Structure 1
């Protein structure tokens, strides 16, 4: 029978336990090492000082606090395993965002998101370097292309903090649907701007307008959403009217994938 075919033998159970123990070694080692970091941070007060430094540099600006916390999360998350990243960043970077009344889930997702993005952000882009090794490509060029392709993803954590309704926190079902739709349009606008193409190649001023549209669409409020949609609509109409866009310099075919082959 099917149940008998899927039944695990004693040998399979023991092998699963052995594999589970081996896989847990990496996480256990990361947590053990992170314990030293947390102990140093707690006893010396470095975490509180870093949070206070971020708040002092931002001068009470929520947007600037998010930017500085983003930079801190990327720097502190470089080269660390995922579990260690979260433990370190939750101790050091998250309190600065929570001081503005941001829900704990949104603040922790913000620092975790950028901690993961540190894996493709030069100069310590471990994921990009691994991909470059497989593709036999230049590591730095691969890292910068990875950032370009994932640039729209840098917008998502800001939406968490400005619109916690995206995480279904303090919002009705209809509000969640509206926030998700405007966030998706804002991400699309930023993607067009970073790639430089929509219906045709984009001029620099068109790309700047789309960046402005993306920023207004992530800012909570019906007026800002209308402004963002209007800016995107204006660029769309201009692209439909003026078919010809800026000429792009000829590129090597392999550059379309992000990098050239290293000699």
Structure 2
């Protein structure tokens, strides 16, 4: 145990010993970064020893110093973004916005589940900017978790609600303008931070739809028991044997989510087997939404119908119908693009 604890130190000493023993040995890893040669030549010129530029130990030392310099420059940009975003939790704690935010979200949602999800998603992205994942999760759940329970009447499984909040809290790390993860990546890739954030967000759009699927179709999480206020539970063999429930509530949604994520690719990239036109990209987007979270489409419609006194109790039928439409659209586009 003691040796394992000192393993890092031992590796460093062995590496330094090898460098000093064979200073001119081949070092292919150092050749991947052209900046290493420039740094070695510059530092060797400073000490008036140009021959050191070819010394392996000297090049490695130059590489370490150059890496430290690049890391400090990258960290500075990230620290500034985090410091700016840190104003948000400070304002929440000082102004007492937390309890008021929950009441505000409930008032705006007006009992609509989809409205609640959309408002909560936006709130999670804003409040999660620049914060570590664990802190983001704890703060957002404490602020917004109760709103889910109150508006849904307890029909949303706790796990689904927590994953919804966590997903959108993490998405904040790649959402401009405070895209901390994208800023760090841009420092490594030497790219524009904002453009990197925009590209990262667009490539991660599936993360913005999957959380809705968790809440609207809890079977994806292998949960059963929603819809009547009863506590959700992880499915058992008895639930799997109940094919009348398992197939439409678990198997179909899981398969459709995978297909929907695939359909979202051509929507964002604009290419599948060949170039995808603007109209086809729009249709791919529609098919992806229908496949992954059809409840986002028909739930608002059902809510409006209930407001005018019309009750429609065929939610599962509409869910399966929209998924079928999405699958047909996707299959047609796939066949056309591949031909």
TM-score calculated relative to the size of structure 1: 0.72
What's the Cα RMSD here?
Answer: 2.8
Q: What's the CA shift string for 1:218-245, capped at 9, x where partnerless? A: 226221211111111222233245xxxx
Match of 1:23 in 2: none
Q: Determine which of 199, 205, 229 is the counterpart of 1:151.
A: 205
- Which stretch shows the higher mean deviation, 154-163 or 168-177? 168-177
Query: Secondary structure at the residue paired with 1:177?
Result: helix
Match of 2:103 in 1: 52
Q: Determine which of 238, 259, 268 is the counterpart of 1:185.
A: 259
Match of 2:120 in 1: 69
CA contact (8 A) 1:120 1:143 kept: yes
CA contact (8 A) 2:264 2:284 kept: yes
The number of residues matched between the two structures is 213
Match of 2:333 in 1: 235
Query: Secondary structure at the residue paired with 1:93?
Result: helix
CA contact (8 A) 2:274 2:338 kept: no
C-alpha distance in 2 between matches for 1:58 and 1:144? 28
CA contact (8 A) 2:167 2:207 kept: no
Match of 1:199 in 2: 273
Match of 1:211 in 2: 285
CA contact (8 A) 1:155 1:187 kept: no
Q: Determine which of 211, 214, 219 is the counterpart of 1:160.
A: 214
CA contact (8 A) 1:85 1:115 kept: yes
C-alpha distance in 2 between matches for 1:240 and 1:75? 40
- 1:15-26 aligned within 5 A: none
Q: Determine which of 129, 135, 146 is the counterpart of 1:78.
A: 129
List alignment gaps of at least 5 residues for structure 1. Answer: 1-7, 17-32, 242-263
C-alpha distance in 2 between matches for 1:53 and 1:69? 11
Change (3 A) 1:204 1:95: farther
Q: Computing the radius of gyration over CA atoms, which structure comes out larger, 1 or 2?
A: 2
Match of 2:180 in 1: 126
C-alpha distance in 1 between matches for 2:160 and 2:281? 29
Change (3 A) 1:132 1:237: same
- Which stretch shows the higher mean deviation, 137-146 or 86-95? 86-95
C-alpha distance in 1 between matches for 2:273 and 2:146? 43
CA contact (8 A) 1:77 1:85 kept: yes
Match of 2:76 in 1: none
C-alpha distance in 1 between matches for 2:182 and 2:122? 19
